[in-house]
Amino acid sequence: MMDRNADAPWSKFDPEVYVDLNYRTPFMADLLIVGLIRDYFSRCYERGVPASAWGVDMGAGANLYPALSMLPWCQSVHLLDHVTQNVEYLEKQASGGGYDTAWDAFWEVLSQAPAYRDVEPRSRFRDIVRVERADLLDLDVQRRWDIGTMFFVAEAMSEHPDEFRRAVECFMDALGRGAPFAAAFMKESREYQIGAHTYPACRVNADRVRESLEPFTAELEIHDLDHMVRPGHEGMILALGRRNAAIAAP
C-alpha cells in the first residue's frame, strides 16, 4: 500500500541527520543548482530590487540555501514547515549568533553575483527570516508572496501523484502575479532513508514537473540534471520561472 503524507513518520524526522547526509559536505549538484538560482533571480531583478518584497520557502525543512538565495531581494522571508523538529531547527538557525557554518559553501556560490556580495548573510538572515509551522497541503492562502522557493518537497512527502500535484498547486497559488520562483525535485525517487526511518517519494521526471507547473507560469525553464546524491533516484530537476496572471481567489 502506498504511503500518503499523513502516514509517514514525520514525528521521527531528524533534521541534524538530514543536514549531515545532504549538506555538511556539499554535493556538486546542489552547488550547481545554487548558481542557477542566483543567476535567474539576478536576471529577474536586474532593473532594480522591489521596495517591500516578501519571500517564502515552502516546506523549508533543514535546507537553508533556498532562503539564502532570496536574501538580497526581500524585506521578509518566511520559512514554512509542518514538521515540529524542522521548525525548531529553522528557529535555531535564525537566532543567536547566526546559522551553521555548513551553509557557508552555498553562500560562497551565491556571492559570486553583485547583489549577493552586498549582503552580510548571517545578520540579514537573522533580521528578516520568520519561521512558521504550516501544512503545505492545507495552506490557507490569505496572502501572496512576491518570490518563492520549494525544494525537494512536493515529490518527497507522499507516494501519491495526486498529493504531488496538490503540493505544486498550493505552492503556486501562494505566489503573486509575476513572482519569480525556484523549485527542485528528486528525479524518479523511490523513497529515502533518514536515520532509521524511511520516507515516501513520488516518482516524477522532467515532463511531469513541467506538466504540473505550466498552467501556473508565464515563463518556465526546466533543468534536468543527471546528478546522483544517494541511492534510489536518477537525478535532480530544477524549475525556474515566474507566476502567471491566472490567480485563484483566496
**Could you say which DSSP state residue 191 is in?**
-
List helix spans (H) across the chain: 15-22, 28-44, 65-70, 84-93, 104-110, 114-117, 121-128, 161-173, 206-213
Burial of 235-249, coded b for 16+ CB within 10 Å and e otherwise, reads bbbbbbbbbbeebee
For residue 209, what is its C-alpha cell? 514537473
Residues 163-180: pLDDT tens digits? 999 999 999 999 999 999
**Cα–Cα distances in Å, from 231 out to 105, 158, 208, 235?**
24, 18, 21, 10
Residue whose C-alpha cell is 560562497: 108
**Cα–Cα distances in Å, from 70 out to 83, 114, 129, 212?**
22, 14, 10, 23
Q: Which of 16-20, 32-36, 105-109, 148-152 has the lowest mean pLDDT?
A: 16-20
CA distance 223 to 14: 29
List helix spans (H) across 45-154: 65-70, 84-93, 104-110, 114-117, 121-128
Position 232 pLDDT exceeds 70 = no
**C-alpha of 231 from chain center:** 21
pLDDT value, residue 250: 46
Residues 23-55: pLDDT tens digits? 999 999 999 999 999 999 999 999 888 778 999
Residues 115-159: pLDDT tens digits? 999 999 999 999 999 999 988 877 776 678 999 999 998 888 877
Tell me the domains of the chain and their CATH numbers: 5-45+52-137+148-243 (3.40.50.150)
Residues 170-223: pLDDT tens digits? 999 999 999 999 999 988 777 766 787 777 788 889 999 999 999 999 999 999
Residue whose C-alpha cell is 540534471: 225
More confident residue, 92 or 231: 92
Burial of 175-186, coded b for 16+ CB within 10 Å and e otherwise, reads bbeebbbbbbbb
Q: Work out the average pLDDT over 75-81.
A: 96
pLDDT value, residue 65: 98
Q: Beta strands 180-187 and 235-243: pairing type?
A: antiparallel
More confident residue, 5 or 12: 12
CA distance 248 to 193: 37
